[in-house]
């Protein structure tokens, strides 16, 4: 009987995305399009995004679990400086998006 189980698992890289980064995300189940906001928290398993829902002086949030991102359930683009935009594509590294500027 083995005492230690070794396994590989997907984790968010907090050196690639961090609190304060601008983000656009869309879950496959959202029919009304994605949401723009900013990252408020990044853990190994989850990204928390704050966004303005278009109702007065309020904000709301949503979570991006790493398991759903790996499964391809999310379309994710983010930027640290609003000049360079990165895009996550499942099973690949984040790629810089050529915005034609």
pLDDT at position 68 is 95
pLDDT at position 5 is 65
Number of structural domains (the chain) is: 1
Per-run averaged pLDDT (10 residues), the chain, 101 residues: 73 94 97 96 96 93 96 96 92 58 49
9 lies in some domain: no
pLDDT at position 9 is 87
pLDDT at position 90 is 78
Question: Residue 47 is part of which domain span?
Answer: 22-97
78 lies in some domain: yes
1 lies in some domain: no
pTM of the model: 0.84
How many CB atoms sit inside 10 A of residue 21's CB?
20
pLDDT at position 62 is 98
């Amino acid at each position: 009987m083995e005492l230690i189980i070794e396994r590989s698992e997907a984790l968010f890289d907090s050196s690639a995305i961090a609190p304060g980064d601008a983000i656009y995300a869309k879950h496959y189940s959202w029919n009304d399009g994605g949401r723009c906001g900013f990252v408020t928290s990044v853990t190994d398993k989850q990204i928390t995004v704050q966004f303005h829902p278009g109702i007065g002086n309020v904000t709301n949030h949503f979570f991006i679990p790493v398991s759903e991102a790996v499964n391809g359930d999310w379309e994710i683009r983010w930027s640290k400086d609003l000049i360079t935009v990165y895009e996550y594509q499942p099973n690949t590294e984040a790629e810089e998006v050529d915005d034609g500027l």
